[in-house]
Amino acid sequence: MIEATNSENSVTGNVPVITVDGPSGSGKGTLCQKLADRLGWALLDSGALYRLVGYVANKKGITDQAGIAEQALNLDIEFINDPATGELLSILEGQDVTRDIRTETCGDLASRVAAIPEVRAALLKRQRAFRVTPGLIADGRDMGTVVFPAAPVKIFLEATAEERAKRRYNQLKEKGFDASLAKIFDEISERDERDLKRSSSPLAIAADALVIDSSKLSIDEVFERVLKAASQFI
Ligand code: C5P
């Protein structure tokens, strides 16, 4: 028998999924939100799951890998749409922690727990549960390679580290956070390195992915390219 944790669920197997993978700041978040809004599909922000696990482990002072994996498996997590802004809110044990998990510190904590194979295994089933009709937009690093390897449409979004740092800086400033461009560039480079080199599900381009370099494209141009690539499934 094939374990549900190791394979994409056959019951939801024909629900279409568009996977969007790529490094931090490549524009995945904005693109995925736009796709989910346009198509009326569910949205999986897998980075938020890793951020929530990193946040909780840090807050509760859990440092052993088994303990962190246990949190990943059983943590009370909910994502709801803010009716006022349409933004996806992250609710942890009943508390809205959307802002707390968006900081660069939490991004760093996320990339550390994301390197633990047991944490990735614990989150696999949770991530696959997001695949519901009429379809799913899955945002992450290993959506097309590990979590939804049979997805009919796979996108890999990239951009230069300089461009990604600039975007992250502007995003943080817009949200009212204090930010330093040089520091963000260093953090992004360090995180890239960790995501690319970890042994468990490293950031990689799926063989059947469409690679889009967003460095010189507007979000609308990227969006149109993805819609075109997905046209037979939407
Ligand atoms: O996408 P976001 O910046 O929110 O992700 C935070 C961190 O979580 C990433 O730097 C990466 O280390 C990790 N991550 C991952 N696999 C995913 C999504 C995020 O390893 N599918």
How many whole angstroms separate alpha carbon 156 and alpha carbon 210?
Answer: 6
* Ligand 1 atom 11: residue of nearest CA: 111
How many whole angstroms separate alpha carbon 35 and alpha carbon 212?
Answer: 15
Q: What is the CATH number of domain 8-225?
A: 3.40.50.300
Mean pLDDT computed over 134-150: 97
In 10 A of CB 78, how many CB atoms? 11
Amino acid present at 87: E
- Give the number of the atom of ligand 1 that is nearest the alpha carbon of residue 28: 1
Q: Is the CB of 187 under 6 A from ligand 1?
A: no
Q: Is the CB of 142 under 6 A from ligand 1?
A: yes
Half-sphere exposure of 188 (CA within 13 A, CB side): 22
Give the three-class secondary structure for 5.
coil
Task: Choose from 84-88, 89-93, 165-169 the range with maximum mean pLDDT.
Answer: 89-93
Q: Which residue has the higher pLDDT, 36 or 9?
A: 36
Where in the chain are the domains? Answer: 8-225
Q: Is the CB of 21 under 6 A from ligand 1?
A: no
Provide the whole-model pTM. 0.91
What is the tens place of the pLDDT at every residue in 113-123?
Answer: 999 999 999 99
Residue holding tokens 């089933």? 125
